[in-house]
Amino acid sequence: MKIKKLIEALILSLALLIDVGPVSVHAQENFLVQEDDAYDSSFSGPLTFCVRKDIAAAFAGADGETQPLICDSSGNLHVTSGGGGGGEVTNAGTFAVQEDGAALTAQQAIQTAVELIDNLVHNIDDAVGATDAVIGLGCKHEGDTVHLTTADGDYDIVRCSNFGAMQTEPEQHHVFDALDAVGSWLILDDATANFTTTKKHVLGTDALIFDKVNGSGTFAAVIDQTITAVDLGKPSPHDLLQTVIYIPDLADVAYVLVRVGTDDTNYNEWRIPDSALTAATFETLIFNIGDAAHAGITGNGWNPSVITYIALGVQFDGEDDALVGIIFDEFSFHTNQHTSAELNAEVSSSISSAKVDLQKINGSIVDKGSGNVSNGTQRVVLPDNVALPAGTNAIGKLAANSGVDIGDVSLTAGLLHADSPTTEVAVLLMIDGSADSDIVTTNLSKSSAITITGSGRITKLCLIVEGTAPFSEDGTIYFFDTDPAISSNTDDMTVAEAITVTSMISLKGTDYNDNFATIKINCQATDESFHAITHVVYEQEGATTIANQDFQLHVWYRRNS
């Protein structure tokens, strides 16, 4: 059979080559087409034929034998679903098979879930729809707040209180070091000795203890440590640094210090003076970020985003001062809620305990014994029908004098010069637009005389600019304790003039009232200290030249001495 087919194929090939009869080589080229050839009406085959068989049935006698394609009465080719047929061909070139029963139900459920998830996803700034689907946020009911058992950095469940409120921690914190072990802590210099751990602690398992000894020109006992970089972001001035300390005796102590920075030559320092400390007692010391000690800032100061250095210590009055048993425990950073309270009414409270201990008044330890009054002494009102005990010290600094009698003490009538009420200074014409020289940007006005004696705080000032087209731009007011003899439109200030400046207050152009055609006013509440003011000068910091405009200054102050 195979030899017969081979002979027939050779005869057909020979016929095509020798152009026998009507079937020439040229004609046979129309049988052959290439992929992507355009349709040609002269194309003569070969055509694919099928045998009509309305009901599909086999022609071949056995499985594996050759048979023709079969078609139904409509010319449709018979195919089987097992071979991938039985369904429509989509324009994507894939076969879509109709599913029924459980499979179809499962597909519909998946589609519903996908659509629901899609409805829950919204982009930032999308408008809220009236029928948007939402997911209820659940939390674990745990009325008693306890420490989580999961490891730091692992997932856990949000907790809710007994009333369904989500448990939160408004104060966030970071522990720089628990001070449970010496670890990488070091003694800063030879004024510190006997550095080790102690079981006399408040937090964790241990604390660190050391002594102050006579060092080589060193007044402080300090321990420090280089740490892995910590990023505190952008702390606020009211955020806190915190540590626990025990100082056996305060007789020679000047202050407690903490340092935070990048190394031992670049750091900020915070201090608490001995007057605010209690000897032989564990105390929690809190340092507001905004209260950094100006004199203690070293090198470039600190960078809160990259902290790699911390230090703890106690400054003493003298180099040879010695003290045994200084203890520090846990050093940490805490965010602090920014709150402000003002009491405008009487506040009353009752205490059932027969004993009330006041720890501190005005930041100082309360004196509980006899002797002279101090910053932390609690004052009480004695009944007017009871005489003061013999030997009682004079009340305040009042002495016998003519005037109003207060028992056996008389008070001179008149304005108090210490802690006086707010006093108003007469309005001063700083710049006379019609008489003074024009003042260009960054230049100074002439020095004008103004008298505020003593020392205290400037509580408020107003600057009034008057003219046909008054401007409102940035500027600075300088107060002097000696006449600097500056003339109008001076472009510089000498060192001799600068060292007589006692206060300076900057005003922003955006703060001026802009409602009037010929007047602009900038009033600011201030808390600037002063001492014996005699003259004032204005610096023009805006781009406009001061010409034909009057500047009048109005000042209020409170004298402390």
pLDDT digits (tens, 9 = 90+) for 103-144: 778 888 888 877 777 777 778 888 887 777 777 778 888 877
* pLDDT band, very low/low/confident/very high, at 383 (cuts 50, 70, 90): low
CATH number assigned to the domain comprising residue 509: 2.60.120
Same-domain check for residues 454 and 311: no
Same-domain check for residues 315 and 459: no
Q: Which two tokens stand for residue 300?
A: 């470039």
Question: For 488-527, b where at least 16 C-beta lie within 10 A, e where not — what string?
Answer: bbbeeeeeebeeeebbebebebeebeeeeeeebbbeeeee
Same-domain check for residues 317 and 184: yes
Let me know if residue 391 belongs to a domain: no
- Closest C-alpha among 433, 439, 459, 458 to residue 549: 433
Same-domain check for residues 327 and 464: no
Q: What is the mean pLDDT of residues 483-488?
A: 94
Q: What is the mean pLDDT of residues 55-71?
A: 86
- Residue, of 450 and 341, whose pLDDT is higher: 450
Same-domain check for residues 457 and 321: no
State the pLDDT at residue 61.
82
- Closest C-alpha among 417, 240, 246 to residue 323: 246
- Closest C-alpha among 218, 220, 221, 289 to residue 260: 289
Domain that holds residue 190: 174-334
Cis peptide before 237 (omega within 30 of 0): no
In the predicted model, is pLDDT for residue 47 greater than 90?
no
State the pLDDT at residue 369.
56
* pLDDT band, very low/low/confident/very high, at 50 (cuts 50, 70, 90): confident
In the predicted model, is pLDDT for residue 99 greater than 70?
no
Let me know if residue 388 belongs to a domain: no
Let me know if residue 354 belongs to a domain: no
Let me know if residue 445 belongs to a domain: yes
Let me know if residue 164 belongs to a domain: no
Q: What is the mean pLDDT of residues 448-473?
A: 88
CATH number assigned to the domain comprising residue 261: 2.60.120.260
Q: What is the mean pLDDT of residues 500-519?
A: 89
The domain boundary, picked from 314, 334, 354, lies at 334
Q: Which of 73-87, 100-114, 145-159, 365-379 has the lowest mean pLDDT?
A: 365-379
Same-domain check for residues 326 and 440: no
**3-state per-residue secondary structure call for 122-183:** CCCCCCCCCCCCCCCCCCEECCCCCCCCCCCCCCCCCEECCCCCECCCCCCEEEEECCCCCC
Q: What is the mean pLDDT of residues 445-470?
A: 90
Give the H or E element holding residue 111: helix 102-120
Number of domains into which the chain is organized = 2
Q: Which of 70-79, 146-155, 226-235 has the lowest mean pLDDT?
A: 146-155
Q: Is 104 helix (H, G, I), strand (E, B) or coil?
A: helix
- Residue, of 328 and 58, whose pLDDT is higher: 328
- Residue reference for tokens 């408008």: 127
* pLDDT band, very low/low/confident/very high, at 402 (cuts 50, 70, 90): very low
Same-domain check for residues 306 and 444: no
Strand partners, 448: 536
- Residue, of 14 and 500, whose pLDDT is higher: 500
* pLDDT band, very low/low/confident/very high, at 397 (cuts 50, 70, 90): very low
State the pLDDT at residue 3.
63
Report the first-to-last Cα separation within the chain, whole angstroms.
Answer: 132
Same-domain check for residues 432 and 321: no
**Burial level of 113, CB count in 10 A (0-12/13-18/19+)?**
exposed
Q: How many Å is the Cα radius of gyration of the chain?
A: 47
The domain boundary, picked from 271, 300, 334, lies at 334
Most trustworthy range by pLDDT among 86-95, 291-300, 389-398, 419-428: 291-300
Same-domain check for residues 322 and 438: no
State the pLDDT at residue 458.
92
Q: What is the mean pLDDT of residues 31-41?
A: 63
Let me know if residue 472 belongs to a domain: yes
State the pLDDT at residue 410.
45
Q: Which of 105-119, 397-411, 430-444 has the lowest mean pLDDT?
A: 397-411
442 touches 540 (CB < 8 A): yes
Task: Report the distance separating Cα 134 and Cα 122, nearest Å.
Answer: 11
The domain boundary, picked from 276, 303, 334, lies at 334
**pLDDT > 70 in the chain, percent:** 73
Let me know if residue 197 belongs to a domain: yes
* pLDDT band, very low/low/confident/very high, at 84 (cuts 50, 70, 90): very low
Same-domain check for residues 554 and 432: yes
- Closest C-alpha among 443, 442, 463 to residue 508: 463
pLDDT digits (tens, 9 = 90+) for 212-261: 999 888 899 999 999 999 999 889 999 999 999 999 999 999 999 999 99
Task: Report the distance separating Cα 294 and Cα 269, nearest Å.
Answer: 8
Question: For 531-558, b where at least 16 C-beta lie within 10 A, e where not — what string?
Answer: eebbbbbbbbbeeeebeebbbbbbbbbb
Q: In the predicted model, what is the mean pLDDT of the chain?
A: 81
Task: Report the distance separating Cα 323 and Cα 283, nearest Å.
Answer: 18
Q: What is the mean pLDDT of residues 161-190?
A: 89
State the pLDDT at residue 404.
47
Same-domain check for residues 186 and 304: yes
State the pLDDT at residue 403.
47
In the predicted model, is pLDDT for residue 553 greater than 80?
yes
Let me know if residue 284 belongs to a domain: yes
Same-domain check for residues 289 and 432: no
| Pairing verdict, β 448-466 and 409-411 | unpaired
Q: What is the mean pLDDT of residues 262-288?
A: 95
Residue type at 195?
Answer: F
Q: Is 353 helix (H, G, I), strand (E, B) or coil?
A: coil
- Residue reference for tokens 């910091």: 541
pTM score: 0.44
In the predicted model, is pLDDT for residue 361 greater than 70?
no
Q: Which residues contact 129 (CB under 8 A, 6 or more apart)?
A: none
State the pLDDT at residue 409.
46
Q: What is the mean pLDDT of residues 300-307?
A: 96
The DSSP letter of residue 386 is S
In the predicted model, is pLDDT for residue 85 greater than 70?
no
State the pLDDT at residue 11.
62
The angle subtended at Cα 89 by Cα 86 and Cα 95, nearest 5°, is: 70
State the pLDDT at residue 183.
96
State the pLDDT at residue 559.
84
In the predicted model, is pLDDT for residue 524 greater than 80?
yes
Q: Is 108 helix (H, G, I), strand (E, B) or coil?
A: helix
